[in-house]
Amino acid sequence: MDETQRSFLRDLLSVSTPSGFETVGQRRWLSYVSEYADETRTDAYGNAVAVHEGAPDGPSIAITGHGDEIGMMVRAITDEGFLQLSRIGGSDRTVTRGQHVTVHTDDGPVDGVIGQVAIHLRKSDDETYDEIAEQHVDIGVEEGDDARALVDVGDPVTLNTEITELTDGRLAARGMDNRVGTWTAAEAFRRAVETDPDATVYAISTVQEELGLRGAQMVGFELEPDAVVAVDVTHATDHPDSPSVRGSDVELGGGPVVARGSANHPAIVDAVRAVAADSEIDLQLAAAGTRTGTDADAFYTSRGGIPSLNLGIPNRYMHTPVEVVDRDDLDSAAALLAATAVRLDEFAPFGVDL
């Protein structure tokens, strides 16, 4: 990963894009891919698409990630000036207390903190976690009218975290889920376009995945490519607290993860595994016997069924402010998908022999 690619990843991680409020991140993503695309476009909800036009009779592939992240929202403002909260997506109530936050208002950011009762004042035997709806943001005002002058009900709220360079090429930040997916889609697109493939290649950053794969449902209906690879994070289980019975044996630095079963079309699984073997790219495998929980679930049921694959980026501590990924896994995923796009005509059309 060179400095330009690292800078792009940091750009994506530095913005706040809770579901339904993805605009600033989508703009940055489009700015990067537009340099390499024959065309870029967006739809009414902000799904962003970059297109490389291949040969008229060539196959087509969409490489996608979702641009939204989990967050919170102001649901009420008390007369004392505190902001009451609701969740956006699967925010974790166990990690929100005692955190710095930003309220994203129409007039600009407002800083605050999510209050936590001091350990001295809590009951010694009470270690329960309040629901997010029972937590509050303190923005420092003295009464409700002061808060209402700054903040509106419905303003999104995100945790404030730093992007931290750990050792051995690993990064920690909020929102790896799924900026690493949109980074991979953009970077795979760039690398594929450099070879001018016969395939038509789409790079896509979807919206509102965390609310139920909403953006992918829109895009899948509109584009109808021959194949889709949805890049998203997957649980790395190589840390002490991970319950091994709830995940596959996925580790950071072990390479991208190919899911098998449910949405994952066997012909695309075979194609990606073949390209990885030929390119000497390490892969990991994961079982998805019921669903992937990613945009792949929406794409493969679009139209008459679009052959799809979920490619995972190993991620520790998902949906917390300290998600950890390995840059080598991102690089490998981008190289793998670019090579797959270039060789797509070797594997298309995708079907099941009966």
DSSP assignments along 202-222, one per residue: EEEEES-GGGTSHHHHHHHHH
Helices (H) and strands (E) in the chain, counts: 9, 17
Residues in the chain where the model's pLDDT stays below 70: 244-247
Is 80 tagged catalytic? no
232 is in an annotated binding site: yes
Give 47's DSSP letter: -
187 is in an annotated binding site: no
Note the pLDDT of residue 39: 97
| Crossing angle of helices 23-33 and 3-14, rounded to 10° | 160
270 is in an annotated binding site: no
Rounded CA-CA distance 307/301 in Å is 9
Rounded CA-CA distance 190/334 in Å is 9
177 is in an annotated binding site: yes
CB 309 within 8 A of CB 264: yes
CB 16 within 8 A of CB 102: yes
Rounded CA-CA distance 336/63 in Å is 11
Place of tokens 């016997």: 289
* Domains defined along the chain, listed by start: 3-69+174-347 (3.40.630.10), 72-159 (2.40.30.40)
Instruction: State the number of CA atoms in the 13 A half-sphere of 99 facing the CB.
Output: 24
Within 10 angstroms of residue 20's Cβ, the number of other Cβ atoms is 20
Q: According to DSSP H, which parts of 90-205 are helical?
A: 144-148, 176-193
Note the pLDDT of residue 272: 98
Give 246's DSSP letter: G
pTM for the full predicted model: 0.96
Place of tokens 């007039």: 107
66 is in an annotated binding site: yes
Which one is catalytic: 80, 209, 323, 346?
209
CB 54 within 8 A of CB 194: no
